[in-house]
A and B are shown apart, each in its own frame.
Chain A
């Protein structure tokens, strides 16, 4: 079956612009996670959804970052007033039930470059 997909695969924007990054989890997976991966670093947790609700958004760096999952499947990560420091690969992962220790399946990521 299809894995986690993310679009776009690459996004180049200018400082100050607004961007949206999309994640399509594996069908039927109730848990969805967003991570940010800077060059040479490990993924950094941003937010976790269980169904439609954000169960843990403690990793969002500031109020310019926001994520939604209105129907409990597709999720969108929104970044306002982008800054050069936002440049990174944004990874999405999903798991079936959101039970702790359950395998997370990662998508290929969206590479964001803010000029």
Chain B
């Protein structure tokens, strides 16, 4: 069935360093890939997304890349700050549906 694998499950980086989180999806019909940030006690918040007809998208310190052939997509955060510490989720949506499949999350800790 549909599945999204996410790695690593935890990630610690020094402030100012970069962080990379990777996801792999199984359904080749997936065409939309959002990334969410979830802070303790709050719901997920969309931070960036990418569509299947685009290979890369950037928004300030955050970028997402997509390799459709390999069914991989990645989140890149540069110049990390302590406030970037949170749990990050990737997700994939199959074209023509409203159903999102989420990864299992990555707990990012940015050490000051």
User: Could you list which residues of chain A lie within 8 angstroms of chain B, going by C-beta atoms?
Assistant: 4, 31, 33, 40-45, 48, 55-56, 58-59, 91, 93, 98, 100-101, 103-104, 106-109
- A59: chain B residues at CB < 8 Å are 99
Interface size of B in residues (CB-CB distance below 8 Å): 26
- Does B97 lie within 8 Å of A56, measured CB to CB? yes
CA distance A22 to B38 in the complex (A): 21
- Does A106 lie within 8 Å of B45, measured CB to CB? yes
Interface string of B10-50 (1 = CB under 8 A from A): 00000000000000000000001000100001111110010
- Does A101 lie within 8 Å of B93, measured CB to CB? yes
Any chain A CB within 8 A of the CB of B91?
yes
Kindly report which residue of chain B lies nearest to residue A99, judged by CB atoms: B98
- A56: chain B residues at CB < 8 Å are 97-99
- Does A101 lie within 8 Å of B46, measured CB to CB? no
CB distance from A112 to the nearest CB of B (A): 15
Partner of B32, one of A42, A98, A101, A106: A101
- Other than A42-B102, A43-B102, A100-B93, give 5 A-B pairs with Cβ distance below 8 A: A33-B98, A100-B98, A101-B32, A107-B43, A108-B41
- B41: chain A residues at CB < 8 Å are 108
CA distance A104 to B46 in the complex (A): 7
- Does B89 lie within 8 Å of A43, measured CB to CB? yes
CA distance A108 to B44 in the complex (A): 8
Summarize A's interface: helix, strand, loop or mixed. Answer: loop
Could you list 6 examples of A-B contacts with CB < 8 Å?
A33-B98, A42-B102, A59-B99, A100-B32, A104-B46, A106-B44
CB distance from A33 to the nearest CB of B (A): 7
CB distance from A49 to the nearest CB of B (A): 10
- Does B32 lie within 8 Å of A93, measured CB to CB? no
CB distance from A102 to the nearest CB of B (A): 10
CA distance A92 to B97 in the complex (A): 18
> Given contacts A42-B102, A58-B99, is CB(A106)–CB(B43) below 8 Å?
yes
CB distance from B94 to the nearest CB of A (A): 10
CA distance A93 to B100 in the complex (A): 12
> Given contacts A100-B32, A103-B46, is CB(A42)–CB(B89) below 8 Å?
yes
